[in-house]
Amino acid sequence: MPAPLLPRSLQIIIPLLAMLLLPMAAGAKEPPIATGKMLGDTCASCHGTQGKSFDEYMPSLAGIDRQQLILAMQDYRADRRASVVMNRVAKGYNDREIEAIADYFSKIK
Amino acid sequence: MTMTRRELIKALGGLGALALTDAPALAKSRSKKAHVVIVGGGIGGATAAKYLRLAAPGARITLIDPTRRFVTCLRSNDVAVGHMTLDDITFTYDALRTKYRANIIHDRVIGFDPDKKTVQMDAGGKLGYDKLIVSPGIDFIYGDVEGYSREAATTSMPHAWKAGPQTLLLKKQLEAMPQGGTFLMVSPPNPFRCPPGPYERASLVAEWFQKHNPKAKVVILDHKDAFTKDGPFKKAWERLYGYNSDNSMIEWIPAAQGGKPLRVDAANRTVIAGAGSFQADVVNYIAPQRAGTIAFRMGLTNREGWCPVNRRTFESEIVKDVFVIGDAAIADAMPKSGYSANSQAKVAVQAIADQLAGKTPGEPSMINVCYSLAGQDYGVSIADIFKVVDNRIVKLPASGVSPITDSPAQPLLEAVYQRNWHRTFANDCFA
């Protein structure tokens, strides 16, 4: 039997470490995103502080149905829904960010 | 009747009362209630004060600005051509004071001690801070070209690049132009406040000429060879002002064609550039820019005259616990706009609230949307979302400028959006 390339202790530790790190590596594929509040604050400059606006063209987002907002953003992003600027804005947010935005605004009363 | 010490302090209220307390009590109140001081009450500073209160209900917030009312540069081009009044774009600090409990001090900051963490005011004495936000805006570089001066800027060659008296001076000069005269604009080198602003102004002046001075012309001498939204702007100029025809009301001379000014004869309203000598009836000389003077006095600027910051937090790379937001901050792909200042204020507030809570500042997210008018019923826009990658602010792909289409609805709706947006946006900053 050829001599092992690694000392016996490492032969045991490495697979154990790999098992430990594997879930982390899977998680690390997803870059961190901003909180729903931070992302929602970018919407506020047009849709009002905390999504509360009184404007016929830039509707309130506060209290909006979560799924309705997610679908609208996905449709804008894919150019399935016509708009003046939202097609371009929506392209700046990924699925997880859109969900975080929807979580944030749907919970505001 | 006797008053307890506590009642006395309560009766006197605010800063005055703090002076009566003994030193250990002051230290105790400091640790319990963080004091955030904001220097500059423009869009960045006002947004910071408001959002800080929403994020940190217990914090002490003080905003210092010498002026009692703020005039937005946003829509000041509409004021210059008489579509709006200065009052329409003037905002007070009332809501910040009453609704968001910020202490508003109308004073000038004249000194700064980053070690003791104090700012010195002109009339109001010294003020200690835990975190300091500086939103200084821009000032002008007067010495770049022979003959141009601060004096010229207030008389024969207004910049009208800070809204207020300068806007009204330009308006007056525009209205006094002889029939068939020339309106000459010098558009500044990058970076500068409101990149689409000069071209919006040129457009609105040309539109004003169509009604009031049909043979007059706008000539733009430019330090640059390209400008933001130049595609949709030039298409709009073709559609509205005969651009690229013999009768064009707008002539744009880029740097490559000698547009860069070399010398100025202020008394004769003449600008000498590579392309020739331009004598005009109105000269709107928009001077090169740098961070607001207060940023220099506080030692927050680099050699180029702007403020380097950590892009994730907007904390100064030069002085700890000081955050610089708005036009003065170096923000890479983000333009120097009111919208950017508002967005950066929210990022700085998140970082400060996290730091005060003993946490690492969270992930930032930033946005800029700018609507400009190429005519009263013709808008063009740019919309971008920004992220931080390796301490640089980068634009995410696929967002960008208005598409050029044959649909008459697109530019009309953009113009309507612009008007509505200004109201909503001002509320997000001041109300």
DSSP class of residue B111? E
| Cross-chain CB nearest to B383 (options A38, A55, A89) | A89
Q: Beta B366-375 vs B322-324: how paired, if at all?
A: unpaired
pLDDT of residue B19: 39
Q: Which residue has the higher pLDDT, B171 or B400?
A: B171
Nearest residue to B382 via CA among B194, B120, B216: B194
Which residue in this structure is represented by tokens 């500059």? B40
Q: Rounded to 5 degrees, what are φ and ψ at B177?
A: -60, 140
Instruction: Give CA separation, B3 vs B22, B163, B337, in Å.
Output: 18, 50, 52
Q: Do the chains contact at B420 and A57, CB–CB below 8 Å?
A: yes
Q: Do the chains contact at A41 and B417, CB–CB below 8 Å?
A: no
H-type alpha helices, chain A: 8-28, 36-47, 66-77, 86-90, 95-106
Question: What is the enclosing helix (H) or strand (E) of B368?
Answer: strand B366-375
For the stretch B63-78, pLDDT in tens is: 999 999 999 999 999 9
Least confident of B18-32, B145-159, B300-314: B18-32
HEC-encoded secondary structure of B217-270: EEEEEECCCCCCCHHHHHHHHHHHHCCCCCCCCEEEECHHHCCCEEEEEHHHCE
The answer to whether A71 contacts chain B (CB < 8 Å) is: no
The answer to whether B343 contacts chain A (CB < 8 Å) is: yes
Is 70 exceeded by the pLDDT of residue B83? yes
What average pLDDT does this structure show over B249-273? 98
Give the distance from CA A27 to its chain's centroid: 13
Is 50 exceeded by the pLDDT of residue B60? yes
For the stretch B382-396, pLDDT in tens is: 999 999 999 999 998
Is 70 exceeded by the pLDDT of residue B9? no
Name the residue of chain A whose CA is nearest to B399's CA. Answer: A88
How far apart CA B371 and CA B415 sit, in angstroms, is 8
Is 80 exceeded by the pLDDT of residue B413? yes
pLDDT of residue A15: 54
Is 60 exceeded by the pLDDT of residue B4? no
B338 neighbourhood in chain A, CB within 8 Å: none
Question: What is the enclosing helix (H) or strand (E) of B351?
Answer: helix B338-356
Name the residue of chain A whose CA is nearest to B398's CA. Answer: A91
Which residue in this structure is represented by tokens 């207004």? B158
Top-tier CATH class for B5-139+291-359: alpha beta
DSSP-based three-state secondary structure for A44: helix
Domain extents in chain B: 5-139+291-359, 144-288
Question: What is the enclosing helix (H) or strand (E) of B119?
Answer: strand B118-121
Question: What ipTM was estimated for this complex?
Answer: 0.89
Q: Do the chains contact at A92 and B367, CB–CB below 8 Å?
A: yes
B400 neighbourhood in chain A, CB within 8 Å: 88
Contact residues for A82 (Cβ-Cβ < 8 A; gap 6+): none
| Cross-chain CB nearest to B424 (options A42, A58, A84) | A58
pLDDT of residue B16: 37
Nearest 5°: the CA angle B117, B120, B121 is: 140
The architecture (CATH level 2) of A36-106 comes to Orthogonal Bundle (1.10)
Instruction: Give CA separation, B368 vs B325, B361, B371, B399, B401, in Å.
Output: 14, 22, 10, 11, 11
Q: Do the chains contact at A97 and B366, CB–CB below 8 Å?
A: no
Assess contact for B254 and B222: CB atoms under 8 A. yes
What average pLDDT does this structure show over B170-192? 98
Q: Is the fold of B5-139+291-359 the same as that of B144-288?
A: yes
Assess contact for B128 and B117: CB atoms under 8 A. yes
Q: Do the chains contact at A45 and B339, CB–CB below 8 Å?
A: yes
pLDDT of residue B306: 98
pLDDT of residue B408: 86
How far apart CA B191 and CA B195 sit, in angstroms, is 8
Nearest residue to B313 via CA among B128, B118, B35, B48: B48
Q: Do the chains contact at A89 and B367, CB–CB below 8 Å?
A: yes
Give the distance from CA B32 to its chain's centroid: 34
How far apart CA B254 and CA B222 sit, in angstroms, is 5
CATH topology assigned to domain B144-288: FAD/NAD(P)-binding domain (3.50.50)
The answer to whether B95 contacts chain A (CB < 8 Å) is: no
Please give the structure tokens belonging to residue B333. Answer: 């792909």
Contact residues for B299 (Cβ-Cβ < 8 A; gap 6+): B112, B114, B318, B319
Mean pLDDT computed over every residue of chain B: 92
A45 neighbourhood in chain B, CB within 8 Å: 339, 342-343, 367, 369, 424-425, 428
| Cross-chain CB nearest to B365 (options A39, A85, A91) | A39
Q: Do the chains contact at B414 and A84, CB–CB below 8 Å?
A: yes
> For an interface test with B, which of A30, A41, A93 has the most B Cβ atoms less than 10 Å from its Cβ?
A41
Q: Do the chains contact at B398 and A91, CB–CB below 8 Å?
A: yes
The answer to whether B417 contacts chain A (CB < 8 Å) is: yes
Is 80 exceeded by the pLDDT of residue B417? yes
Is 50 exceeded by the pLDDT of residue B357? yes
The answer to whether B8 contacts chain A (CB < 8 Å) is: no
The answer to whether A47 contacts chain B (CB < 8 Å) is: yes
pLDDT of residue B74: 95
What average pLDDT does this structure show over B364-381? 96
Q: Which of the four pLDDT bands, split at 50, 70 and 90, describes residue B32? A: low
The answer to whether A78 contacts chain B (CB < 8 Å) is: no
Cβ neighbours of B87 (radius 10 Å): 9
Domain extents in chain A: 36-106
Long-range contacts from B232-239, C-beta under 8 angstroms, 24+ separation: B232/B374, B232/B380, B232/B401, B232/B402, B232/B404, B233/B196, B233/B199, B233/B203, B233/B372, B233/B374, B233/B380, B235/B404, B236/B203, B236/B374, B236/B375, B236/B378, B236/B380, B236/B411, B237/B203, B237/B206, B237/B374, B239/B378
For the stretch B276-298, pLDDT in tens is: 999 999 999 999 999 999 999 99
- % residues pLDDT > 70 (chain B): 92
DSSP class of residue B191? S
Is 90 exceeded by the pLDDT of residue B51? yes
For the stretch B231-253, pLDDT in tens is: 999 999 999 999 999 999 999 99
Q: Which of the four pLDDT bands, split at 50, 70 and 90, describes residue B398? A: low
Name the residue of chain A whose CA is nearest to B387's CA. Answer: A92
The answer to whether A60 contacts chain B (CB < 8 Å) is: no
Q: Which of the four pLDDT bands, split at 50, 70 and 90, describes residue B151? A: very high
**Nearest chain B Cα distance for residue A24, angstroms:** 19
N residues, chain B: 431
B339 neighbourhood in chain A, CB within 8 Å: 45
pLDDT of residue B419: 87
- Regions in chain A scoring below 70 on pLDDT: 1-29
The answer to whether B394 contacts chain A (CB < 8 Å) is: no
Which residues is B401 bridged to in the sheet?
Answer: B382
Q: Which of the four pLDDT bands, split at 50, 70 and 90, describes residue B1? A: very low
Q: Which of the four pLDDT bands, split at 50, 70 and 90, describes residue B48? A: very high
Q: Beta B378-389 vs B90-92: how paired, if at all?
A: unpaired
Contact residues for A59 (Cβ-Cβ < 8 A; gap 6+): A47, A53
pLDDT of residue A5: 54
Nearest residue to B197 via CA among B207, B212, B185, B183: B185
B366 neighbourhood in chain A, CB within 8 Å: 42
| Cross-chain CB nearest to A84 (options B362, B413, B427) | B413
Chain B, residues 48-67, CB within 8 A of chain A, namely: 50-51, 54
Q: At what angle do helices B409-430 and A36-47 cross, to 10 degrees?
A: 120
